Structure formats: C-alpha cells, structure tokens
Chain A
C-alpha cells in the first residue's frame, strides 16, 4: 500500500544517516504491506550494492539484502555444488524458503535480512539462520559494528535486540554447521500456510545435537545436547535464553540451552529438556495456532527429529 507519510527515499546504508522517523528499506514487502502513519523517510539499503552471497570455506556470508529468490537459487550455484566438502545442511535452504506463506513473487523482492528483522515467530529466515548458528553483523550508528547470534537478534514477536538506527548488514553461516546432518519439520494450520511450528535438528560432526524451535515460540529457542566444541555459550543447563549483546566484534556467543551431559538424549530426556527450555508462556498465540497445539507439536516434532538424527534410539510415540 502507499506509505503516504513518506517524504523522502534516500539510498544509504550508513547508520549515521538514520534519524527518528526513518526506516531501513530492503525489499519493502513488509513496510509496504503494513504501511505506516508515522515514518517520514525510507533509507534504501538495496542501493549499497552488497554482494548477496559470499561463499568461502569458512561458510556462507549472506548479505541482509540477499533476496529470498537468490537464496533459493543458491544450492544450484556451481560454487556450491563444487565445494570440496559437502554441506548437507544446505537442504534447509529450500525447505525454509518454501515455509514462507508468501508467494515466490514476493521472494523476488523480500530479503533475508528483512525477514529476520521483521522478527515474526514464523519468519523462515530466522528459522534457517538461527538453526545454522548464524551470526549477524550489525552496523551501529557510531560507525562500529557488532556481532550476535541470529537467535538472539529476534527476541519476541516482532521484537529484536536492534537499537534504533542499527542496521543488519549480513549473516554468517559457519561451515561447521553447514556440514551437519539436518532434519526439518514444519506444521501449519493450512496446506502450505504460515508455519505454526517449525523445528530444525542438526547433528554436528562433533556429535552435538542442536534442536532449534521457531514459529511455535515467540523467539527462537535452541537446545544443545552433547559436547561443547570450540564455542562459547551464553546459557547452559536450562537457564533462560540470554540476549547476548556480544559487544564489539569478538567471537559470537552461541545461543541456547545446553545439556552437555546428554550426548544422545532419549525421548524422555528430550521431553524434560523441552520442559526446561520452553516455559508455556513462551508458546506463541495468534491466528496461526493455539499455544497448546504448538506446544504438543513441538514435542512431537522434536521427538521425530531426535529419532531421525540419533538413529541408535528407537522411535517412540
């Protein structure tokens, strides 16, 4: 829809230019969908010319302005199929893109960064990037930047930990996560509808099992089972989610509830871990699913994932 209060559209990706009444404009599919009666200027970051996808042996760097269409095409790119080491977790890319309730036409405009910053519980880019332990680089108005886990960037329904004027620059998906085996589960109230529950499981080479819950909960929740390998954790042993500020450009602090003693959790252990990690109030409640259903489906899908990835355990209902 028309945003009739907008007086100016300025091509810039410099947070120093930001002032009250401004909004960063990426694809525009959210801003122009909801409209606004207060915004005065749109700061168009798509003119910055950021390279959408950068592929290195360290992983994937997705510019915030990478469109969903570009992301969807990624697995077919020769640089990816020609990688020396396989990244099986890339199968999540299309599964997550197809979790958009929005049409493929919207994907031609909407961006990875825009979806994350909209911070809807069902944001599939939030699901993808948090499940793969993505690190967000955020440009700050003072000219600095900071890094934090994507899972900590989204803090609630339509809430982020971004300060006014801060701009999401890119998301780094580490190669270690891309090398994991993954399992994807999603439920919606309607066929191909908005996700009511979206769970992604990852079994790392180290044997760590990471289950990321999105859509069902107001913000991403990660459960990490097994050994700690070369990373720092913000929370452990069932403590509540920590919104890490990461301060500066140091190594990002990984998000999640750690269960280091449970290398291959059983069904009951998984249930107990979910009990600890997700208080009932954290289940989202809107037109796309009742919280009780979301809770039970979270348990159900988590168990399916556990069974799929930890093959030595038997499938139980």
Chain B
C-alpha cells in the first residue's frame, strides 16, 4: 500500500478496517470517532476518492494509493483548505478536523454550495458548524492584520495548536509513539447483561487459554475501597458507592471483568470466553418507582454515613427541602397559576474522542497515566486513593482532549488500566468503543420537575415551587452536585418572595448519569423558563416584559434555597438586562427582514412563533476551585506558561496566552503554554464548571503580572535605572528609553545562575454570575410536525470577552449541542434496562443540515472578579436553548410541550392530541 507517497510493505489483517491499519502505520491523524461510518473523522482518500476508513476493508487498499491528512499539505505548504480552516478557526477540539479537511478538500464549487448534503457524513460536536461553513467557503475570521497584532485580551488570535490540528499532528490521548510504550497491552471489558445481579462465579480459565491473553481481572482483584467516578475538588462531594470491579452489577453495561491481552483481538476473544454465573436480583428502572416502599434497593448494602448516601434503603442519594416565604400563600394571591410536570431525557455528551487511557509503571515503580480527561489532577488523587499509592507515585497527563462536555469529569477508564499495569508491569491501554460510550459511560441526568408558579396581573411573580426528581442511575457520581446546582441559579435568577424546593436524586438500575454541560441547569431552566412563558401567556403579557419585571437586577439578592445569598457569589458585573434587549431587538429585526422579503407567510400548514428564555450561571462552582500557573522567561526571550487546565476545544490555551501577553505587554504567539500534566504544576481542580478562563486564567494573570514585575526589577538591576522606569514592550524591556531585549536579559540572568519564574494561584472565590438569553423564531408544520428555525439569536454576558472569535464559537457550539438535546437526542433505556442506542446512527447528533446560523451578541460588561474583566462562557450557552424553542413552538401553535426531546413525531402527535382536547380554534398567542 502506498500511503502519502511512501510504500508501506505491511499486509493488513483480513478483517481489519483501513483506519486501524493506517494508525498502525503511524498515520495518527486518522481518528476514530464512531468507528461505524457515521462521523467521518477517519476520512481518507483511496486513489483520490474520499472514503470513511473505519468501514473500508483495509485489504482493499492493497496496491492502492492512500492519502491521509498527513499527506494533504505539500511539504510545509498547506493545502488551501488547511489554510482556510486556520483562517476561520474551523475547529474547537479538532478531533473531527482531519476528516473535515479530507472531505472538503475534494469539493468542487457545486458541492461547497450544498454543505448540508455534502457534510452529512462529517460530525462536529464543538463548533455548531458556522466556523466550518466559513472555512469551506474561504471566509477568514482572522483579524490579526487589522486588529491588535499582539493578541491581547479582546483580540482574536488563533489557537496555538491550530497548525498541528489542521496537519493532523496534534496529539490526542492515544496518538502516541508505540516506542514510548514497549510491550503495550490492550484491555477489553466484559460488561453486565443484567440490570441487577450478584456475580456467583467467574470462570476465567478458558479466557486465559486464549492465545495472547495475559490476565483477567475480576472483583476478586479489586481494591476494597469505595469511591465515586465523579471528580471534584473535595471528593466527599460525591457518594462512595463504586468499586473498580464489584461483585454486584447494578446496570446493564457495568464492568464485570477486564481482559488484558497482546492485541485488541485477543482481548475481545478473551472477553467472549469468560464464563459468569449470576444470581439475578430485582431491578428498578424508574426513578419514581425507586422511591416506593419495598422497591429494590440499588445500594442497599451501603452504609449511609460512610458512603454519604442519604437513604440507601430508599434509593435516595441526596435530597433538599427548602422554602422561602410561603408558597401556598404566594399561589393563593396569584391571579394566574401554572402547574405542570416537565421531564428531560438522558443525553450523551458524544465527544468525538471516546474515553481512553494508557497506564504504565516506570522502572522506579511510579504510575503514569495518559488519559482523555478534564481533570488530570483530581484523577491523580483519586487513583492514589483507590489504589493505595502515595500521590507523588502517580502522574497523570492529558494530551489534547477530543471534546469533553462534562463527560470527562469522571474516572471511567484510568482506575482499571492502572490496576492492570501495576499488576502486570506492562503498559495497558483501554479505548472505549462508541457503543461503550453510548451504553456504559454516563449521560445527562434525567429530571422530572413538578412545577407550580403564580403571578399577579401586574406581572409580579408570587410563587415558584419545584418538586424535582433526579435519576442518577446506578451510581451517585455527581448526584448531589447536579441536584443542588440545578436548584440554584435557575430559581435565583428571579425575584420572588415565595420559593420552595423539594428535590431528590435517586438510584435506579440504569446507566449512571454524570456531569453534563450545564450541570443540572439546562434541565431546570427548561421547566422554569417554560413556566415563565406560560404565566406571561396567562397574564396576556409579553413574556420578555414579564421577565424584565421579575428577573434579578444588579445588586438584588440572588436567592434560591437559602434565606441568605451564597456567601461568595456577587455581581462582579451584570449584563442580563443588556442580553434581554439584544435578543428582543434582534428578533424584531429578524421579523422585519422576513416581512420585507415577503417570506413571512409560509403557507397554510405552517404556524410561526417566537420564543425566548434566559439563564444565569455562577462563574465558578462552589466549594473551591483551584489553579496554579507558573510563568517563566525563557532563554530566547519568549515566555512559557505551565498551567494545569486541559485543552479540549474550549480554547483556554489561547486565553492563557492572551492573558499573559496582556500582562507582559508581549505577543500571544510569544507565550508557549504547557498544560494538563500533574508534574508541571502544583494543582488544578480541572477544566469543568467553565473555569478555564475565570479560575485558571486568573492564576495565569497573577503569575504573568508577577513575572512582569520580576523582569522589570531584573532589567533595572542590570541597566541601573529604577524598576519604576522600566516597562515591558514586546520582546524587550524599555528601561527609561533604552531597550533591553528579553533574550539578552535572560542570558544575563543565566550568566548569574538565575532565571525568572513567577507563580500565580487562585482559589475560585469570590464568584460572579454570567447570563445568556436565547431567542428563536420558528415555523411548525402542523401537518407533519416539521420544525423550521427561522431565526436563532443568543446574547451572552461573558464580561470582557477575551477572544471574541473563540467565545462566539463556544456560544454557537453550545447552541448546536442544545438543539440536539432539544430536538433529537435521547439515550433510550429499554424495558430490560439496556441502552437501545448502541451505535451513533441510532443517536442523532446535529449535522450541518440541522444547525441554523445563530446571531451571537455580547453584553458590554467588565467583571470586577474575573481576570481582566472576563467571565465564564462555555457551559451556559446551552442552558436557555431548549426552553426558548419550546416557548417558540407554544407561541406558534398554542401547545405547550413539557417533555424533551421535541422531535417532529412528538410535535405532530402533541398537536393532534391538543386538537382532541382543545377548542376548535387554537389559542394563538402573539
């Protein structure tokens, strides 16, 4: 086979797909996204024709010429499409980029004119496709020539990894040199076919006889320590209910045994050869039934106090019961009362890079784990705790991470590969299949929310009460956190004298829920914002006007479940009012555009409406979120930052470089960022809770400011002027009119046997609040249920926007992911407790064709708490999307949809149902 112009003599195996063959031949730019032909991340050319290499028999490429992303450029000269993707920054995590490039590089003009059709086979989970659209059409959003060339805060320099991403050389978790892992073994996991069972016996004899199988690990090999896969700064935030391998299985898909072998094929054969006898136990799949007296107790064997489970016998992991004011009185005084039950479904993160890790033990016995994780430092701690190792004996690294969305705030692979590597003394790798990702990792928590709210004719919200049932699945990872967080900002964003919360998070024998973008808020805002819309409709008031009258204003106390506001949450800035007006104005302009174009009447089957929703989020999670940055002046006069936080497309690497460049009055491209390696920095809680900018960025700012002071001091000492007269300029220190180049300064310091490194640390408190408001105009086909999004607009209050291009990308990506959750996505658990979506084709995530271009606006605020005025903006754009859409459908059709997702069949059947029960003339709000 000829690969990128070089002959490769190896023969593929008979059943091998081209993707794995190419990776074995070193073409690590060829990615596994779905491994089933759906996502296109593995696209390569065979004799010039683009194919999905995961479904292309490798044998067929014999005697053919294969081009991978590594062969797209002509030496150092990038292919025009690579240039385009750089100029438009047509990527975030970049895991789909090689496939995007290898597909679009073949397009003629006609194909470029129909991207919805021609990019059907290329899924991106991060960008929302707008930046890809721009890239394919050669639209540059690179402002470096017209804007601030230094890339300071407020400019939009490109991601430092951009060139590596578009050339396929960026190294994700498993893109490693095999030479670094001699004797690498592969693990495959035998998973439970039962929802609830006790393992009576595991016969591993036949498995061990399979050629190549090295070991089989069962519950008998498991450490006895209970832990949680969830990763938090304080590990006691989550219940200890999980073992590396358990003798009881509590959901279909739970680990039963792990087979380690020389090859993936041998490990798979070993898994098939393991014989397990189970004693079936009664299972409960429904969270409401899990609360019934006598329901099977999923963790009935646990100690409530030591595992920190509220009531193991009743399946209650966590609960919360609070009342502010008097809700009954508030409802009694209301002129309009809305009572409804809202439900949200299981959603899978569907990061294109599946969970994966490699563990090895060095000659000194130190454990090294390379993992696809958002929390390398917390995983290090967790591994040390679970495996009984000293923390300094564990080293965790994240390479570039192919998407996270909260799914990688868990320890799902690291513990078991580490266990095996320690036992066998050889490197062990575990890579989840897409099926494992869908059926046996984590999902968003399904919520059932019984909501009661009341308002008076003057628009005053008089009561807001929620009874929340959260299904945490078989394990309690993130169960308390998601439940508490969900009832926080979603209620606090409204001023209301009477608020009540009854919330429970309960176990069921289903795939575990976990952290997911929004961390409970997207579910609750769906209910709360739908309710606000209903109250406004009941009052015959414009929904946005109703919100204006009740939403928090700068300085008003933010109250949800406690009579006093959260001690460390304050208005570091306030831009909700701006966001509301930005969306209102944009929707009005959009309507005028349609009217002026004569497009406002779509025909008799189409009902048109608008809907809006708002959301609020604390800029940092509670209970401490720590970051440490070391900033160093390098011998060549450039800078190095060592930060803890991981890069998975969130763009924080760019942000760190910008923040440091601003503080050092240098150029962002002169600041190299090294990251997500537990040996590089002291500690970092992790890249979750939207903290990459506001916490880690703040540590970077402090480090860079300190380094700037050190540099000026050193320059002053060498030039004999006072430090006060020294100022940094790009590449040099201006010492009272004399320029001292930084490389010269570094050399002088080196000569004196010193160097300059400064440290910054931030603990994530006090915290501010960020806001998002979304608006839709939609058309609903009442005959088929088809939904068309005519306009999508979001306004975000992100404080000072560090990198407007990236931040816009975060908002667009959040909208797209939320549209998936609002319209299509549902992880379905069948009557036997098994997840029914086993391949990506059965779990439709938005394609290019599904995502409209959204208008994105930023409020103009400056946060006094965030670094250089910035606030968080990565989770929150997701949160207002589903309710805004449901409100738009309500406005168009008069029908309130209370369950997600709102697929076309559901919309159609809902409208049919409403026709049966409602007056002949539908109530059309205007």
Chain A contact residues, CB within 8 Å of chain B: 1-9, 25, 28-30, 32-34, 37, 39, 42, 44, 46, 98, 101-106, 108-109, 187-194, 196, 286-287, 289-290, 292-294, 296-297, 300, 317
A108 touches B844 (CB 8 A): no
A4 touches B36 (CB 8 A): no
At the interface, yes or no: B453 with Cβ under 8 Å from chain A?
Answer: no
Please pick, from A8, A46, A192, the residue contacting B116 in the complex, using a CB distance under 8 A.
A192
Please pick, from A9, A187, A297, A317, the residue contacting B15 in the complex, using a CB distance under 8 A.
A9
Known: A2-B17, A287-B842. A189 touches B903 (CB 8 A): yes
B784 touches A102 (CB 8 A): no
Please indicate the chain B residues that have their CB under 8 angstroms from the CB of A29 in the complex.
37, 52, 55
In the complex the two chains form, what is the Cα distance from A42 to B912 in whole Å?
Answer: 49
Q: Which of B99-126 contact A (CB under 8 A)?
A: 103, 116-118, 120-122
At the interface, yes or no: B175 with Cβ under 8 Å from chain A?
Answer: no
Please pick, from A5, A109, A194, the residue contacting B55 in the complex, using a CB distance under 8 A.
A109
B56 touches A103 (CB 8 A): no
Interface string of B780-792 (1 = CB under 8 A from A): 0001111000000
Please indicate the chain A residues that have their CB under 8 angstroms from the CB of B849 in the complex.
190-192
Nearest to A5 among chain B residues (CB) is B15
B904 touches A293 (CB 8 A): yes
At the interface, yes or no: B341 with Cβ under 8 Å from chain A?
Answer: no
B213 to chain A, nearest CB (A): 13
Please indicate the chain B residues that have their CB under 8 angstroms from the CB of A109 in the complex.
51-52, 55-56
A190 touches B57 (CB 8 A): no
In the complex the two chains form, what is the Cα distance from A317 to B55 in whole Å?
Answer: 44
Nearest to A25 among chain B residues (CB) is B57
A187 to chain B, nearest CB (A): 6
Given contacts A103-B40, A103-B118, A106-B52, 16 further A-B contacts (CB under 8 A): A4-B269, A28-B55, A32-B17, A33-B839, A102-B38, A105-B51, A109-B55, A189-B905, A190-B849, A190-B850, A191-B847, A193-B850, A196-B904, A287-B842, A287-B844, A290-B905
B51 touches A108 (CB 8 A): yes
B268 touches A105 (CB 8 A): no
Please indicate the chain B residues that have their CB under 8 angstroms from the CB of A6 in the complex.
13-15
A108 to chain B, nearest CB (A): 5
Please indicate the chain B residues that have their CB under 8 angstroms from the CB of A294 in the complex.
905
Known: A33-B839, A189-B904. A4 touches B844 (CB 8 A): no
B56 to chain A, nearest CB (A): 6
At the interface, yes or no: B403 with Cβ under 8 Å from chain A?
Answer: no
A287 to chain B, nearest CB (A): 5
Q: By CB atoms of chain B within 10 A, which of A190, A193, A294 has the most?
A: A190
At the interface, yes or no: B238 with Cβ under 8 Å from chain A?
Answer: no
Please indicate the chain B residues that have their CB under 8 angstroms from the CB of A293 in the complex.
785, 904-905, 908-909
B906 touches A105 (CB 8 A): no
At the interface, yes or no: B181 with Cβ under 8 Å from chain A?
Answer: no
Please indicate the chain B residues that have their CB under 8 angstroms from the CB of A196 in the complex.
904-905
At the interface, yes or no: B224 with Cβ under 8 Å from chain A?
Answer: no
A103 touches B841 (CB 8 A): no
In the complex the two chains form, what is the Cα distance from A188 to B849 in whole Å?
Answer: 12
In the complex the two chains form, what is the Cα distance from A30 to B839 in whole Å?
Answer: 12
Please indicate the chain A residues that have their CB under 8 angstroms from the CB of B116 in the complex.
191-192
Please indicate the chain A residues that have their CB under 8 angstroms from the CB of B843 in the complex.
287
At the interface, yes or no: B836 with Cβ under 8 Å from chain A?
Answer: yes
In the complex the two chains form, what is the Cα distance from A1 to B32 in whole Å?
Answer: 9
A190 touches B17 (CB 8 A): no
B55 touches A106 (CB 8 A): yes
B121 touches A106 (CB 8 A): yes
- Counting from the closest, the 7 A-B pairs by CB-CB distance are A103-B121, A6-B15, A3-B15, A293-B905, A4-B265, A191-B849, A32-B55
Please indicate the chain A residues that have their CB under 8 angstroms from the CB of B60 in the complex.
28, 46
At the interface, yes or no: B54 with Cβ under 8 Å from chain A?
Answer: yes
Please pick, from A5, A42, A102, A287, the residue contacting B836 in the complex, using a CB distance under 8 A.
A287
Please indicate the chain B residues that have their CB under 8 angstroms from the CB of A286 in the complex.
842
At the interface, yes or no: B288 with Cβ under 8 Å from chain A?
Answer: no
At the interface, yes or no: B375 with Cβ under 8 Å from chain A?
Answer: no
In the complex the two chains form, what is the Cα distance from A4 to B850 in whole Å?
Answer: 35
A1 touches B36 (CB 8 A): yes
B460 to chain A, nearest CB (A): 41
Please pick, from B15, B103, B842, B906, the residue contacting A42 in the complex, using a CB distance under 8 A.
B15
A2 touches B20 (CB 8 A): yes
Please pick, from B52, B59, B908, the residue contacting A296 in the complex, using a CB distance under 8 A.
B908
At the interface, yes or no: B828 with Cβ under 8 Å from chain A?
Answer: yes
B893 to chain A, nearest CB (A): 16
Please pick, from B50, B783, B824, B909, the residue contacting A290 in the complex, using a CB distance under 8 A.
B909
B121 touches A104 (CB 8 A): yes
Please indicate the chain B residues that have their CB under 8 angstroms from the CB of A102 in the complex.
37-38, 120-121
At the interface, yes or no: B272 with Cβ under 8 Å from chain A?
Answer: yes
A189 touches B824 (CB 8 A): yes
Chain B contact residues, CB within 8 Å of chain A: 13-17, 20, 35-38, 40, 43, 49-52, 54-57, 59-60, 103, 116-118, 120-122, 264-265, 268-269, 272, 433, 783-786, 823-824, 826, 828, 836-837, 839, 841-844, 846-847, 849-850, 903-906, 908-909, 912
B59 touches A9 (CB 8 A): yes
In the complex the two chains form, what is the Cα distance from A37 to B433 in whole Å?
Answer: 14
Please indicate the chain B residues that have their CB under 8 angstroms from the CB of A101 in the complex.
120, 841
A275 to chain B, nearest CB (A): 18
In the complex the two chains form, what is the Cα distance from A196 to B906 in whole Å?
Answer: 13
A193 touches B57 (CB 8 A): no
Please indicate the chain B residues that have their CB under 8 angstroms from the CB of A44 in the complex.
57
Please indicate the chain B residues that have their CB under 8 angstroms from the CB of A33 in the complex.
36-38, 54-55, 839, 841
29 contacts between A and B (CB under 8 A): A5-B265, A5-B269, A6-B13, A7-B14, A8-B14, A9-B57, A9-B59, A25-B57, A28-B60, A29-B55, A30-B55, A32-B54, A102-B121, A103-B40, A103-B120, A104-B117, A105-B52, A105-B121, A109-B51, A190-B824, A190-B850, A190-B904, A191-B847, A191-B849, A192-B120, A286-B842, A287-B843, A287-B844, A293-B905
Please indicate the chain B residues that have their CB under 8 angstroms from the CB of A39 in the complex.
15
In the complex the two chains form, what is the Cα distance from A137 to B43 in whole Å?
Answer: 34
Nearest to A103 among chain B residues (CB) is B121
Please indicate the chain B residues that have their CB under 8 angstroms from the CB of A287 in the complex.
826, 828, 836-837, 842-844
Please indicate the chain A residues that have their CB under 8 angstroms from the CB of B17 in the complex.
1-3, 32
B817 to chain A, nearest CB (A): 15
Nearest to A297 among chain B residues (CB) is B784
In the complex the two chains form, what is the Cα distance from A4 to B60 in whole Å?
Answer: 16
Please indicate the chain A residues that have their CB under 8 angstroms from the CB of B433 in the complex.
1
Known: A189-B904, A191-B849, A297-B784. A103 touches B52 (CB 8 A): yes
In the complex the two chains form, what is the Cα distance from A191 to B272 in whole Å?
Answer: 39
A304 to chain B, nearest CB (A): 10
A278 to chain B, nearest CB (A): 17
In the complex the two chains form, what is the Cα distance from A164 to B837 in whole Å?
Answer: 28
Nearest to B122 among chain A residues (CB) is A103
Please indicate the chain A residues that have their CB under 8 angstroms from the CB of B836 in the complex.
287
B905 touches A4 (CB 8 A): no
In the complex the two chains form, what is the Cα distance from A314 to B831 in whole Å?
Answer: 46
In the complex the two chains form, what is the Cα distance from A189 to B824 in whole Å?
Answer: 8
In the complex the two chains form, what is the Cα distance from A108 to B64 in whole Å?
Answer: 15
Known: A293-B904, A297-B784. A105 touches B43 (CB 8 A): yes
Nearest to A294 among chain B residues (CB) is B905
Q: By CB atoms of chain A within 10 A, which of B40, B264, B823, B847 has the most?
A: B847
Nearest to B825 among chain A residues (CB) is A287
Please indicate the chain B residues that have their CB under 8 angstroms from the CB of A1 in the complex.
17, 35-36, 54-55, 433
In the complex the two chains form, what is the Cα distance from A6 to B269 in whole Å?
Answer: 12
Please indicate the chain B residues that have their CB under 8 angstroms from the CB of A106 in the complex.
37, 51-52, 55, 121
B31 to chain A, nearest CB (A): 13
B844 touches A190 (CB 8 A): yes
Please pick, from A3, A25, A190, A290, the residue contacting B906 in the complex, using a CB distance under 8 A.
A290
Known: A190-B850, A193-B844, A194-B841. A9 touches B37 (CB 8 A): no
Please indicate the chain B residues that have their CB under 8 angstroms from the CB of A5 in the complex.
15, 265, 268-269
B120 touches A32 (CB 8 A): no
A34 touches B850 (CB 8 A): no
